[in-house]
Structure 1
Amino acid sequence: MSDNSEVEGDTHMGTKEPQQRRRYVDMWALPGIHPSNVELLQKLKTADTNHFTTNMDVVGTVSEQDPESGDWEKSHMLGLRTDVWKADKAEMEDALDVLQNQRRTELKRQIKKSGRLSRKQQKQLDEQLAEDCVMQMDAGAIEKRRLVLKLFKTSNERTSWCGTIEQITTSEIHNSIGTGKSLLSMVVMLPRSECVTYIQQNHRTFRIPSLFTFAFYHDGRMQHVVLKRRWISVGADYEIEVGGKSIGEIDGRLFSFGSDSYLDLDPSELSENRKFVDLMTLFTASIGYHKAMRKSIDRRVKATLCGDAHCHVIEDEEIRLLHNGRAAA
């Protein structure tokens, strides 16, 4: 089965007018013990898609409103990679072992590029290891947390991957160091899309509410999108603007057990674009994690500025996102 079997709706069909799109993103506060988790987890584990991995947990659902009847239908699930978001003690200890082995090899090569060390050289290495900050690190000092959320379309017949939003810690570190503020960076990957979409939080000196921007490639041109968090709101509310004009909003629910939000898109060419709607759904789902993500950035920046860059673990998957596709093989 293809990972994206649904009709994309990227082009206008005849003279049909664009319709409003409304989704309700229900993020669970305690996904591990949510009564629906066992059933949904089993459905995703048996799905014909390699995007749902063993280290993933169902953390929420998405319902979509029929623009004509007004009826709601539970249409999507959201999965979280728990191995990188909630690394347990054993995983942190394994990560520390890898770091310390790499550091030991690095110090050894500084003494002798290859071959066995002499007794004098071994003594020199032992002295350096005893004083080295990496070798003295505790597993709790490693910052490995990174958000990876995936959206799945569900039905009675099949389950398919609709997109992934990932935290880009490398961008977060240099942006946060340069501005003195904890700024989030994320990338969204959508099936059958030529381009990935980078979502960047921006820093403005005299404005506290969050501001995110990104460029979405659509119909042969880039659409520049601004997500402005409102100054006064009862939840995490964002105005969605394209070209300086509002095209919708994210309405966060204050009195909810988890992190729930309505995503409303006014009738437009983008509201008819299924990929854009899925992208906005992924961002909406990520909002409840933003506070914890900023705390993680603070720890990474502090470690980096103190010279303990080894405390900032960068996953191989994140490194692959930085690869130069034009580089010679």
Structure 2
Amino acid sequence: MGKKDPVPSRRYLDMWALPGMHPSNVDILQQMKTADTNHFTTHMDTVGTVAEQDLESGSWATTHMLGLRTDVWKVDGAELEDALEVMRDQRRQTLKKQIKKTGRLSAKQKADLDAQLEDDDVMQMEPGEIEKRRLVLKLFKTSTDRVRWCGTIEQVTMTEVHNSIGSKRNLLTMVVMLPRSEHVTYIQQNHRTFRIPSIFTFGFFDGQQMHHVAIKRKWVSIGADFEVECDGESIGEIDGRLFSFGADSYLDIDPGPLSENTGFIDLMTLFTASVGYHKAMRKSVDRRVKATLSGQSHCHVVCNEELRLRHNGRAAA
């Protein structure tokens, strides 16, 4: 028998505007927290479902769940106060070592340290000045007997800040990690002169070749609609629903090399799920950029998890 022709892929994302009040959230949350995966943590809320359409019958079946890391997205006052205390302690130790590398300080040295601390920007900060918010969304495949992690999309605030400063426009950067893949995929928003609608680009390696993908928001659309192109040719679209409580969308990928690639479809699903958060993400980037340009770069807190994304695997031990 000859090889079957590729088939299209169609998914519908039902993103909840108020996850905690969604009628099915309690049962789903319990299912996810007892799942056989350590990717769903106690600091995560389910924020939506993903349904796939059967091409022959036209029926839809819910196949995936989406989880949001609330501890990094909805940072509360207590967490900001704790972060500020850590920053102040680190700053105190830094200034102390500048006066004397080791050992106790003399009375005069201690007085010098106290004077520096009194005028130091970090010591004068308030918890509300710290910008720590970062988007982390995870996709899980669900069935009657198990829950399996399918990928994560994370905001990369360090790249966002320097790209936004260089282009004088707030630009988003995200990274996607997929299971059983040695490669991560960076999704970068690009700035083009006289082009207002967003354009995101990334390279997707399918194990054999690199595919260059562009996600272009449409000039005229009712919802958040995007055209998906691969190597300059249209391969699908994201059709955002206008009349919905959350950022609901259809994701359609035309028949081709990528329509049956589960990793690519999951990656596109994660990006589509992130669209509803883009406005809040840009506001966060704007605050980080303004703090950096005003000499208050310490207000932009970079967590260890984000720093690990820049780990140099070739560095000597």
TM-based fold match above 0.5: yes
**Residue equivalent to 2:285:** 297
Matches within 5 A, 1:168-317: 168-317=156-305
**Residue equivalent to 2:120:** 132
CA–CA separation in structure 2 for the residues paired with 1:27 and 1:126 = 51
**Residue equivalent to 1:156:** 144
CA–CA separation in structure 1 for the residues paired with 2:174 and 2:122 = 29
What secondary structure does 1:15 align onto? coil
Runs of 4+ in structure 1 displaced over 6 angstroms?
Answer: none
Aligned partner (choices 76, 85, 99) of residue 97 of structure 1: 85
Distance 1:14 1:88, change over 3 A: farther
CA–CA separation in structure 2 for the residues paired with 1:68 and 1:101 = 62
Deviation at 1:269, TM superposition (A): 1.2
Deviation at 1:194, TM superposition (A): 2.2
Amino acid at match of 1:64: E
What secondary structure does 2:40 align onto? coil
What secondary structure does 2:23 align onto? coil
Deviation at 1:233, TM superposition (A): 0.1
CA–CA separation in structure 2 for the residues paired with 1:117 and 1:14 = 81
What secondary structure does 2:124 align onto? coil
CA–CA separation in structure 2 for the residues paired with 1:57 and 1:198 = 24
CA–CA separation in structure 2 for the residues paired with 1:14 and 1:310 = 61
- Corresponding position: 1:70 with 2:55: no
Q: Which runs of 5+ in 2 are unaligned?
A: none
What secondary structure does 2:123 align onto? coil
**Residue equivalent to 1:46:** 34
CA–CA separation in structure 2 for the residues paired with 1:219 and 1:297 = 33
Deviations 1:29-78 (A, max 9, x none): 11112111111110010000011111101000001101111110000000
- Corresponding position: 1:83 with 2:74: no
CA–CA separation in structure 1 for the residues paired with 2:262 and 2:84 = 42
**Residue equivalent to 2:111:** 123
CA–CA separation in structure 2 for the residues paired with 1:219 and 1:88 = 41
What secondary structure does 1:194 align onto? coil
CA–CA separation in structure 2 for the residues paired with 1:175 and 1:318 = 16
CA–CA separation in structure 1 for the residues paired with 2:33 and 2:16 = 19
CA–CA separation in structure 2 for the residues paired with 1:59 and 1:174 = 30
Q: Which moved more, 1:30-39 or 1:133-142?
A: 30-39
**Residue equivalent to 2:23:** 35
Amino acid at match of 1:42: Q
Identity of aligned residues (%): 72
Distance 1:91 1:14, change over 3 A: farther
Amino acid at match of 2:282: R
CA–CA separation in structure 2 for the residues paired with 1:159 and 1:229 = 33
**Residue equivalent to 1:58:** 46
Amino acid at match of 1:35: P
CA–CA separation in structure 1 for the residues paired with 2:182 and 2:43 = 28
Amino acid at match of 1:150: K
CA–CA separation in structure 2 for the residues paired with 1:186 and 1:219 = 21
CA–CA separation in structure 2 for the residues paired with 1:68 and 1:225 = 28
CA–CA separation in structure 2 for the residues paired with 1:320 and 1:133 = 27
Deviations 1:256-280 (A, max 9, x none): 1011000001111100101100000
Amino acid at match of 1:190: L
What secondary structure does 1:126 align onto? helix
Amino acid at match of 1:285: A
Deviation at 1:205, TM superposition (A): 1.2
What secondary structure does 2:108 align onto? helix
Deviations 1:70-120 (A, max 9, x none): 110000000000000000111010000000000111111111111111111
What secondary structure does 1:64 align onto? strand
Give the alignment's Cα RMSD to 1 decimal: 0.9
Scaled by the length of structure 1, the TM-score of the pair is 0.95
What secondary structure does 1:213 align onto? strand
CA–CA separation in structure 2 for the residues paired with 1:126 and 1:327 = 39
